[in-house]
Amino acid sequence: MNTEEQNLFPLGKGCHIIGHHQETDIWAIDKAPGILTHPNFQSKSKKKRSLKTLFDAKFNFQEEAYEWTDGAGVLQKVFLVHRLDSPTSGIILVTTNKEISSLLKIAFTEQRVQKTYHAIVRANGLIRPRIWRDKLYEVKKQGKLRVKWGQSGSEAVTEVQLASNTSQKNEFRLLRLKPRTGRTHQLRVQCSKRGMPIVGDQTYGDFSINRRVEKSTKRSQLFLHATSISLSLDYKNRPLTVLFETSLPRSFGKLI
């Protein structure tokens, strides 16, 4: 993306545009870790307004869109179509086209979207390609959302592979994760359940490893990154395929 395109939107700190599908006005943004996809409450409090979000702009909860006035005094809107957890970094899609926004939400609901994530986890034996299947359910603990596994709950399915650029001998492993379902905290919980928590996970992780990594890298983050997203749309009476990809953050290279 050139400088002019990067300046089109009031992006949050550390976030940048990585792609644009011109026909549909779908934009791919690389979200930094620790950035909220959108404010999770409506408040006029100065403290809560100062939270770091994907766009440095007002969020319209009814339309699920960020709004701001440009230099010419024209109201601009960017519509959200899906979300990433605040600690998770990587690709998130937005659009300036309200019709496309509706079509994209349908595509996500109908599971016509394929996403790939990469995660650095604690080593736990030999990792072979496989499918993880679990039952996950949400609970509230002291006002905070937690996800657990058990005999009941919604099915969570993820395709798992060891990434080609990591060794089985490393202390940490780089996994390629392709979720077939979209449950809350799905990848983080499934990794933790198998004794290979994602490094930097402050909820389901190994806190002693997290402290050691934070000390050695001088940064605190969840090492889970959305690296690609592809989807199919029926637009103007013809099928469209949209694909965006991004590279791993430099911080990943310090561990693998």
Q: Are 27 and 20 in contact (CB under 8 A)?
A: yes
> Does residue 254 sit in the same domain as residue 127?
yes
DSSP letter at 121? E
- In Å, how far are 4, 13, 16, 29 from 21, measured between CA atoms? 16, 23, 15, 12
Identify the domain boundary among 110, 145, 162: 110
CATH number for the domain spanning 162: value is: 3.30.2350.10
Query: Are 102 and 152 within one domain?
Result: no
Q: Of 58, 80, 110, at which residue does a domain stop?
A: 110
Angle at 192 between CA 116 and CA 171, to 5 degrees: 85
User: Domain span at residue 69?
Assistant: 1-110
Catalytic residue among 85, 201, 206, 234: 85
Please confirm, yes or no, whether 70 is among the known catalytic residues: no
> In the prediction, which pLDDT does 197 show?
96
pLDDT in tens, 150-187: 988 999 999 999 986 566 667 899 999 999 999 999 99
SS3 203: coil
pLDDT at 169: 63
Is 20 strand, coil or helix? strand
The answer to whether the CB of 19 falls within 8 A of the CB of 2 is no
* Spatial separation of the C-alpha atoms in residues 144 and 217, rounded to whole Å: 28
Question: Is the domain of 96 the same as that of 69?
Answer: yes
Which tokens go with 238? Answer: 């013809």
Which ranges of the chain would DSSP assign to H, the alpha helix?
3-6, 46-49, 98-109, 186-193, 207-217, 250-253
Task: Specify whether 70 is located in the same domain as 185.
Answer: no
Residues 161 and 76 in one domain: no
145: its two tokens: 């959302």
Same domain, yes or no, for 178 and 250? yes
Question: For the chain, what is the domain count?
Answer: 2
* 58/10 Cα distance (integer angstroms): 10
Q: Backbone phi, then psi, for 17, in 5-degree steps?
A: -75, 135
Indicate whether 45 and 147 sit together in one domain: no
Tokens of 253: 């290279």
Whether residues 194 and 79 share a domain: the answer is: no
- Supply the pTM of this predicted model: 0.90
- 86 with 117, same domain: the answer is no
What the block records as the tokens of 112 is 């016509």
**Count helices and strands in the chain by DSSP H and E runs:** 6, 13
Same domain, 252 and 156: yes
**More confident site: 238 or 155:** 155
Region of residue 62 (left: phi > 0; alpha: psi -120 to 50; beta: else): alpha
From 90, 110, 130, give the residue that closes a domain. Answer: 110
pLDDT digits (tens, 9 = 90+) for 53-99: 999 999 999 999 999 999 899 999 999 999 999 999 999 999 999 99
Indicate if 126 and 252 belong to the same structural domain: yes
Distance between CA atoms of residues 45 and 108, nearest Å: 33
Q: Please say if the pLDDT value at position 2 is more than 70.
A: no
34 vs 87: CA distance, rounded Å: 5
- Is residue 126 domain-shared with residue 241, that is, in the same domain? yes
